[in-house]
Amino acid sequence: MVQPIDQGDSPNSDAQPSKRRKKSMVWDHFTTETVGKNDVRATCNGCKKSFSYISGAKQAGTSHLKRHIKLGICPAVRDTPVNKQQQQLITYSSAPKADISLDGNLTRKRYRAANGVTTSLHLPGSNNKLSQNLARMIVLHDYPIHMVEQSGFRDFVRTLKPDFSLTSSDRVQQQVMVIYHRERQKLLNAMKSMLGHLSLTLDLWTSNQGVSYVLVTGHFVNEEWKLLRRTLNFIAIESPESDTALSRAVAKSLSDWKSEEKLLSVSLDSCSSNENAVENIRSILSIKNSAILCGQLLLKDCYACMLRDLALESLDYIRGTVEKVRYGVKYVKSSKVNEERFASLKRKLQLPSCIRNIEFDDHAKWDTTYFMLSAACELREAFSCLDTYEDADYRSNISVEEWNEAQTVCGYLKTFHSAAAILTASPGNHHPTANAFFLEVLNIYYVLMNAAAKTDRFVSNLNAVLQERFLKYWNDCNQVLAVAVTMDPRFKMKLVEFNFQRIFGDDSSLWIKAVSEGLHELSVEYVVQSLPLTFIQKEGSDPPHPKTEDDGEDEEEEEEEFGGIDVYVSDIPVEHNFKTEELDHYLEDGVLPRIQDFDVLGWWKGKASRYPTLSKLAVDVLSIPVSTVFGESVFDTGRRRRQLDAYRSGLGASTVQALVCAKDWLLQNDGDRTSDVPYRISSGEAAVERRP
């Protein structure tokens, strides 16, 4: 008969009555049973599997029982939620440690090695995994690589995991490069299967050592019909003001990513290049992708930069008032007594409780200055009473006229801030497509046009400055924005027609015709790309650039024939030969209801069989980047080039590129786009490093 043994004693206590074994943690998970003379087995309480424990004079010990629980061999332990998350973190030590019971709860158990030294139990290869995660942490959170050699960090790691083999800076840098090359290969594979063409944005950066960089970002639609934005290169350049610096960076990036034949468009920061540099980039577009609008899809202005300039021009116009408001906020926040007095004034004046609390602004973020100014305007009565209150130290003296001017500026800033939301409110990996910007730009246009009709001198003067900056952007980008919104089935050409009639009046037909012809021209070029070469030759006449008599090389003949086709096709009227049935049918069909959160790429995915050629055009047009800046960087006040922090300024170019690119790729792959800035920067002249 099987008889359970009391776990408080050793199973062979009769043989050695003078000794009492220490109870092991395994007996929380096992029950011993005597199955015969001098034959004791241990049965797992979870899976009921039986193990040898005592056989005759031989005792098997508990190591194999520990492994059964510790390594998750027992399915009852392995399947508990806590064990799934913390299996590699279970330790045994002389101090109480966390262990996992069969019900998934943490219990306090301890284990001491025979020599009395506390040890950590870990899986094979765990140190290598920790080293990889350490490098990943450094990449993700902008920690300096040399932190691994700092005494505080090393002491912390030794306390946390004594058996961890602390590494060197060189080893961490190697791990960073491993991450970079691994993630780069993933991105390269994704780009091989992109649905359409590749668009680039260029942004100039600098370091505190005078080295300049070009941040090259790629925009494309993947095979799942999702718009992706990925950092491709962070290229060091010798002379950023030269005419060829940016064009060379574009050429290098295209070569690195094997995308020479896929380039569609390039978008620039409004102040990042001179006209000669712009023309050199335009030449690259013409060479790399002459089949699409002769490479003319070059955006010389940036949506976010336009908003920043408008906001800063507005704030600069009332610079003195802004400083007075800052003084008032500083006074209120300087002591608890002042805050209570200000709150008392608000109650006496019966100001609405819904007014936001006033806070200091961050000089590097124009949206925070807008929030401060807006709250101050709502509390203007309370601020006006401060200089007549008990404390004679307060001297702000903001006049009624200044308050009115601040209120006017807040109206403008509200419009600009609302327009910036499209770049900051996108969740996860969802990036705004080009069609989404047309309405935002139109709203700014109408605000400025309506203000121009006012007779107030302050409004008139400020509005003239803002109009000049906005029209620079509008004239450069309105055609691209109009074509993009036409690819939105909720609007098609209707939105363009309606608003151009309001904006241009009697001349609206010319502007509408320009958009329509541009769209049809683009459609023809996509139709031509989808046709076999023999069909094009049969439908047309002789090319306008025939072979010369002394062109004897077959290869040169083929190149010349093919080169003439582009010119020939561009001379064919839209109505002739290469019809645009798909585009015409699309435009003639009714528009969809105007709904929020509309997935325009998802709609084209569902219509790809009906519009096989037009859907390719839509993919490319909708992926054109309208802005070079996204996320919270939209609100940066720095008009100068963005700057690397002090630590990264001292690293080699290849290491900096690895850190910059790898961080973006890791964040994007994790679906965690917490910040558009791929690493720490300092806006302005001085770099500020956040020390560990």
User: Within the chain, what is the greatest distance between any pair of CA atoms?
Assistant: 114
Same domain assignment for residues 496 and 596: yes
In a domain? residue 157: no
Q: Quick one: 186 and 276 in the same domain?
A: yes
Which is nearest to 270 in space by CA: 657, 687, 628? 628
Rounded-to-integer distance, Cα 413 and Cα 423, Å = 16
Number of domains in the chain: 4
Q: Is residue 644 part of a domain?
A: no
Convert the pLDDT of each residue in 620-649 to its tens digit: 999 999 998 888 888 998 766 788 888 888
H/E element, 4: strand 3-4
Do 242 and 314 lie in a common domain?
no
Encode pLDDT of 402-455 as tens digits: 999 999 999 999 999 999 999 987 545 578 999 999 999 999 999 999 999 998
CB 231 within 8 A of CB 240: no
Q: Among 197-201, 290-294, 688-692, which stretch is predicted with the lowest mean pLDDT?
A: 688-692
Token pair of 156 as six digits: 């912390």
CA–CA separation, 515 and 312 (whole Å): 32
Residue 557 has pLDDT above 50, yes or no: no
CB 116, CB 106: distance < 8 Å: no
In a shared domain, residues 455 and 592: yes
**Considering only CA atoms, which of 675, 691, 644 is closest in space to residue 215?**
644
570 has pLDDT over 50: no
Quick one: 322 and 284 in the same domain? no
Q: At 152, which helix (H) or strand (E)?
A: helix 151-160
Which of 359, 381, 411 finishes a domain? 411
The rounded radius of gyration (Å) of the Cα atoms in the chain is 34
Residue 599 — φ and ψ, nearest 5°? -90, 90
Contacts of 614 (CB under 8 A, 6+ apart): 523, 526, 582, 583, 586
Residue 86 belongs to a domain: yes
Same domain, 351 and 401: yes
**Measured distance CA(231)–CA(213) in Å, rounded:** 13
Q: How far apart are CA 228 and CA 433, in angstroms?
A: 10
Per-residue pLDDT, 575: 43
Three-state secondary-structure class, residue 604 = helix
Please give the C-alpha separations between residue 61 and each of 32, 628, 673, in angstroms, as whole numbers: 12, 66, 52
Q: Please, is 465 exposed, middle or buried when counting C-beta atoms within 10 Å of its C-beta (0-12, 13-18, 19+)?
A: middle
Q: What distance in Å separates the CA atoms of residue 168 and residue 42, rounded to the nearest whole number?
A: 46
- Are residues 459 and 357 both part of a single domain? no
Report which secondary-structure segment, H or E, holds 173: helix 169-192
Same domain assignment for residues 375 and 497 = no
Residue 616: CB atoms within 10 Å: 19
Run of H or E including 100: strand 97-100
250: domain CATH number is: 3.30.420
Helix (H, G, I), strand (E, B) or coil at 451: helix
Q: Is residue 367 part of a domain?
A: yes
pLDDT, tens digit, 9 for 90 and up, residues 454-503:
989 999 999 999 999 999 999 989 999 999 999 999 999 999 999 999 99
| Owning domain of residue 313 | 305-411
Residues 291 and 324 in one domain: no
Single out the residue in 386, 411, 436 at which a domain terminates.
411
Residue 536 maps to a domain: yes
Contact between 484 and 438 under an 8 Å Cβ cutoff? The reply is yes
How confident is the model at residue 284, as a pLDDT?
A: 77
Q: Say how far apart CA 297 and CA 483 lie, in whole Å.
A: 12
Alpha-carbon 186 to chain mean position = 17
**Is 688 a domain residue?**
no
The reply to whether 485 and 604 lie within a common domain is: yes
Q: Dihedral of CA 186/188/194/199: which sign? A: positive
- Cα separations in angstroms, 253 against 198, 201, 218, 247, 476: 11, 11, 10, 10, 25
Residues 384 and 269 in one domain: no
Last residue of a domain, one of 411, 434, 459: 411
The token duo for 193 is 């299967």
Query: From CA 671, how far away is CA 429, in angstroms rounded?
Result: 6
Identify whether 571 is part of a domain.
yes
Pairing between β-strand 106-109 and β-strand 198-206 as defined by DSSP bridges? unpaired
Alpha-carbon distance 189 to 117, whole Å? Answer: 50
**Do the domain assignments include residue 691?**
no
Give residue 244's Cα distance to chain centre.
29
518: tokens are 């541009």
- If asked whether residues 572 and 459 sit together in one domain, one would say yes
Secondary structure element (H or E) that encloses residue 329, with its range: helix 319-333
pTM of the entire predicted model? 0.72
pLDDT tens string 63-84: 888 888 877 778 777 666 545 4
Query: pLDDT per residue over 149-188, tens digit each?
Result: 999 999 998 888 888 888 889 999 999 999 999 999 999 9
Q: Phi, psi (5° rounding) for residue 118?
A: -70, 135
